[in-house]
Amino acid sequence: MTISSSKKTNNFLVYYQCFLAVVVVGVFFTAADIYWFDSGYTPPPYVLVLAVGLAAIPLVPSFLSFNYKYFPNALLGWCIFYIVFSFLSYLLTIKNDLVNQELDDRILVVIFLCVSSFVFCGKDIIIRVTRISIFCVIFWNIYTFIAELFQPEIWHTLTTFNPTGRPAGFYTDPNKAACVLINGLILTVGLLPPKYRLPFCLIVFLSVFTTFSRGGMICMIILMTLFFIKKILPKQQLIFIFAGVLALILNFSILGEFLESEASNLGIINHDLQTRISTFTNPTSRQASDDTSRLDVVTYSWQKILESPLSGHGFGFVKTWGEILPHNMYLSYMLEHGIVGIIILPWLVFAVQNRANGEAKNLGLFLVVFTLIWSIFSNTVVYDRETLTIFSLMGVMSKKSQTKQLSSTSLNYQN
């Protein structure tokens, strides 16, 4: 009777953990936490993060007895470094509201990584349910993008709106929306049988295309190339990709004119959208949405870095300098922390796939390549909970793959 009761309790906790994993994906990977807060429905996102942490307390006994083996220690090591380094930098910086906000943001990053990793630690079914949830979110996002194309104000909230004319759904920022789709693709493409993977990749590619994120399209091309190299996509399907790319290249000008005409008909044409559509009619265009080319932004940022290359300009400098933003995670950290800043992001990315084996090794490779490239186009990678959700899940998957490999090796040795 006691054994039966204990088994039922364990099964309930597994189902409960699956439920919490779905909540993490459904609330934070979709950016619903921000959307609901901006709409006046929920408290600030940090309260929701803490609420999930409190809701996960019943999982502590199973974590201490068994699931602790799957907690990503390498990711925990990065979190300890990041929070200690941030506190020390903060103490040496002149305080103001923006600097204080930066410290709060970094504390939330560490809390969220630890809470989400804790929730994902457990049996294989928890990982699978989480990945399926991410798969579902991809199609939810596609729906929100399509809806926004035909009704641009549909996702506007009380305090935020998307002024770009490019679909972004709950994310407001079209570039972030593209990043979420690609991260989701990396973690879910392996769930499908091989013959369905290429159509799925093409659906995601077209969805990224609707955001007009140039970095997103570049990353998708690189990622799909890696998929073929690592045999995630069958090589016999490569001819369809070549045919599609060739047709696209030959019709760049026509496509650009068509997109501009359709955007005008939908009433969403603006300067930002026009400059991105001009990429098709004039690929050498150097315009960016803020009328300053990315090359100019990088040049200016490097000038500021060289003014203080060793120690940087201080904690929170990027939030306070009030000029053009670097749009680059590496430059952002170097501007604030000097030469030490350049290791912060790479350390995090490699920590989440530390010593991965099997499928996790391939997924870790794809995630590392994508994140390192994407961070050239974005200065919010480490702060976005959508990306942090993927990092936590990947960290747990990597750790589980190590544990299974060690168990297999041990069994072989005994035999």
Q: What is the pLDDT of residue 163?
A: 72
Q: What rounded mean pLDDT belongs to the chain?
A: 85
**pLDDT recorded at residue 408:** 40
Q: Band the pLDDT of 299: cuts 50, 70, 90.
A: confident
- Show the CA angle centred on residue 333, arms to residues 380 and 102, nearest 5°: 60
Residue 165 in this model has a pLDDT that exceeds 80: no
Q: Does residue 110 surpass a pLDDT of 90?
A: yes
Residues 335/86/329/121 CA torsion (nearest 10 deg)? 170
Portion of the chain with pLDDT greater than 90, in percent: 58
List pLDDT tens digits, range 304-322.
Answer: 889 988 888 889 888 876 5
Looking at residue 324, what is its pLDDT?
62
DSSP percent split of the chain into helix, strand, coil, nearest 5: 75, 0, 25
- Mean pLDDT over residues 129-135, rounded? 97
Q: 29: which DSSP letter?
A: I
The 8-class DSSP code of residue 131 comes to H
Task: Report CA-CA distances (Å) from 182 to 79, 138, 303, 332.
Answer: 24, 9, 32, 23
* Percentage of the residues of the chain whose pLDDT score is greater than 70: 80
**What is the average pLDDT across 380-389?**
96
Q: Residue 413: what pLDDT?
A: 30
1 pLDDT tier (thresholds 50, 70, 90): very low
pLDDT band at 148 (very low <50, low <70, confident <90, very high): confident
pLDDT score, position 318: 86
User: Smallest Cα–Cα separation from 385: which of 113, 77, 80, 102?
Assistant: 113
What is the maximum span of the chain, computed from C-alpha positions, in angstroms? 74
326: confidence class by pLDDT, cuts 50, 70, 90: confident
Mean pLDDT confidence for 161-188:
90
- Mean pLDDT confidence for 144-153: 85
Q: Sorting pLDDT into bands at 50, 70 and 90, what band is 289? A: very low
Q: What is the pLDDT of residue 267?
A: 56
pLDDT in tens, 191-221: 999 989 999 999 999 999 888 888 898 999 9
* Confidence band, pLDDT 50/70/90 cuts, at residue 189: very high
Where is mean pLDDT largest: 161-170, 196-205, 242-251? 196-205
266, pLDDT greater than 60: no
Q: What is the pLDDT of residues 221-232, one digit of tens each?
A: 999 989 999 989
Mean pLDDT of 92-111: 94
| 411 vs 261: which has the higher pLDDT | 261
CA distance 286 to 150: 29
- When pLDDT is averaged across residues 125-141 and rounded to a whole number, the result is 97
Buried b (16+ CB within 10 A) or exposed e, 381-399: bbbbbbbbbbbbbbbbbbb
